Amino acid sequence: MRRTLFDEDHEAFRETIRAFIEAEVVPVYDEWFAAGQAPRDFYYKLAELGVFGIRVDEEYGGAGIDSYKFEAVLYEETARAGVAFGGSGVHVLLGLPYIKLLATDEQKKRYLPKFVSGEEMWAIAMTEPGTGSDLAGMKTTAKLSEDGTHYVLNGAKTFITGGVHADRMIVCARTSAPTKEDRRHGISLFVVDTKAEGYSVGRKLDKLGLKTSDTAELAFVDVKVPVEDLLGEENKGFYYLGHNLASERWGIAFGAYAQAKAAVRFAKQYVQERVVFGQPVAAFQNTKFELAACQAEVDAAEAVVDRATEALDAGELTPAEAASAKLFTTEVAHRVIDRCLQLHGGYGFMNEYPIARLYADNRVNRIYGGTSEIMKTIIAKDMGL
């Protein structure tokens, strides 16, 4: 079946991104992998390419294109090359929706030009030590000062992608206690300057995969946040988080599909070149059957993410649909990548081969953005169960 998700503009963008990856990322990617993060200067290159401004209005320096399809191209092309753009994904996929949804005109004038230029990289801090997916259980607090000019932020966060390089951090904190009727009540969102006194970045976490994204622990000790940097209304943060989780989960779903598709590409290339017992590995019936089965799963995942992308662009992707897409594609990617690594034999276990890195990178897809178990809970609830 002919794919209809992308048009000529998307394909032209794809060619640009593919050439950029080959010139600017592939030659130095091993250095990033060893360092555990992409260099900060790389984000300026992405900004110059226009990556950060695609969905930002023209008045703030963006392209004003209200579509996630260009980001979908980025997922496909980075996976195809076996690379990643560091922690920049969270800047656009997680940071931007909150600015567009919640920021006042005054805030957009302050935030967006530097967002587009890469001068200020954004991330979001939700998860806390001991809370995991239970966001309503967060302990970080933000108390309004007596003179009403600022909030005082105290607490800690962990597993924060983009946490090392971030210049602006959207921090979720309690501004009032939960109620007996609703333990989610009382959470607010703040845009915090990471250079503020009392804000500190702790360990850069040593992860199983996603080695080039900077993931960190954060601490806040009496951090003063001007009232002008409250994002949205006080105490409505949990609602805002739920609203934007659909786009976050779409991103994870599409990224997982792209990884699965790339795994088949890597395995196909390997088995055609690798010779054992006097013939290419691709000549064995088992190899053909394994790759055929993987391709069928990738085709199904593609249909799911393409439908979800169209729904997201139309503003119609529901939380349950996003959860379903994430659950399905991440499970597909898990199976496909594992089978493709198996076809590499011992070489598949070596980090110099992209399938090994892909195997490690993929594992977190069933955890972050809500675990597979959380996705099943959301889907079941939508079914009336």
Tens of pLDDT, residue by residue over 283-338, are: 999 999 999 999 999 999 999 999 999 999 999 999 999 999 999 999 999 999 99
pLDDT for the residue 134: 73
Output the pLDDT for position 133: 67
Give SS3 for 169. Answer: strand
pLDDT recorded at residue 131 = 76
Kindly tell me the number of DSSP H helices and DSSP E strands found in the chain.
12, 10
pLDDT digits (tens, 9 = 90+) for 122-144: 999 999 997 766 777 889 999 99
Short-list 213, 166, 222, CA closest to 193: 166
CB 322 within 8 A of CB 253: yes
Q: Which pLDDT score is estimated for 1?
A: 67
% of the chain residues with pLDDT over 70: 99
- 263: phi then psi, degrees, rounded to nearest 5: -60, -40
Exposed e or buried b for every residue in 31-53, given b needs 16+ CB within 10 A? ebbeebbbeeebbeebbeebbbb
With H, G, I as helix, E, B as strand and everything else as coil, classify residue 24: helix
**Alpha carbon distance 206, 364 (integer Å):** 13
In the predicted model, residues of the chain with pLDDT beneath 70 are 1, 132-133
Which strand (E) or helix (H) includes residue 321?
Answer: helix 319-344
Which residues are tagged catalytic? Answer: 248
**pLDDT number for residue 259:** 98
pLDDT of residue 227: 98
Question: Does residue 114 contact residue 107 with C-beta atoms inside 8 Å?
Answer: no
Q: What's the confidence (pLDDT) of residue 87?
A: 84
Q: Which residue has the tokens 């959207």?
A: 170
